Amino acid sequence: MRAGLAGGLLLLAMGPAWAADAPDVAALIQRLASLQADPAQVELAAYERLQAQQAVAVLAKTRGRARDEALFLADRRVEIAETAARAESARREADRLERTRSDLLVEASRRDAARARQEAERLRTQAQIQAEEAERLRLAADAETLARQDAENTLTSVAGQQTARLTAARQKEAQLARQEAELMSGAKLPASKFEGRGEVFTLGATAFNPGTAKLSPAGTASVSALAAYLQANPGASARIEGYGDAQTPGQRRADAVRDALVAAGVPKARLQATGKGNGTRARAVELVVAQR
């Protein structure tokens, strides 16, 4: 192949000598010289160019009838060399473009990966900040809840203590008023108990004459003591609740007690009489004293 190539180069060098006698040979030599002179194609299609040079060399020596066939063969060999060189050049360019494309794709993939990592880091940082803020708000809410509970407990404790002191003070006041009333009236007050509605005094059925709403001597003494008690508590009002039996309605018993209290000097505006249901021997009237 090297010998043929050297022969071809010598043939090309003799191009001007052939140009005058055989212009067709000179044209083929010129085409091969163009391939040889092109830096992009000088190393391409070496085998095809060698065959073309050999065919041109044969053409240059051929005479007579065989020359037309040699010319056709040489022209085809040169054309094949040109086409092969262009094809190989195109393949190389395609390979170069593919490598460039691959490099670009790799670089783009790297940039995309870097952007994705940056975005993931940004989202992670944002999520961490949000979680920390949520935790801070939760801790603040817990602290506020504890502070509110402490305040409520303190207020409840203070209110309870104040209520207890107020209740104790009222009971002490009631005890002193009871003592004063019993001294003033010379009679004992009925038994009483403290409820949410006030101090409740209970008169049994013996406070009335049997079958009537008229107070008995014992009932009159109890009502007299109650009148003194109310007068010792000028800020108190009384609700009189009467309980009846088969002969006497509860309202009449309540009215009788109210009238007796008014007669003893208790302002009627401080008294309210109402009838309830049936009573018992132990409970004919309840007198509820409440501070206004």
Q: Please say whether the dihedral angle defined by the alpha carbons of residues 113, 114, 119 and 122, taken in this order, is positive or negative.
A: positive
Both tokens of 171, joined, read 């009971």
Q: What is the CATH number of domain 173-291?
A: 3.30.1330.60
Question: Residue written as tokens 């209970």?
Answer: 202
Domain ranges (residues) in the chain:
1-150, 173-291
Q: What is the pLDDT of residues 46-60, one digit of tens each?
A: 899 999 999 999 999
Q: What is the pLDDT of residues 91-131, one digit of tens each?
A: 988 999 999 998 899 888 888 888 888 898 899 888 889 88
Q: What is the pLDDT of residues 168-180, one digit of tens each?
A: 766 676 677 777 7
| CA–CA gap between residue 34 and residue 32 (Å, rounded) | 5
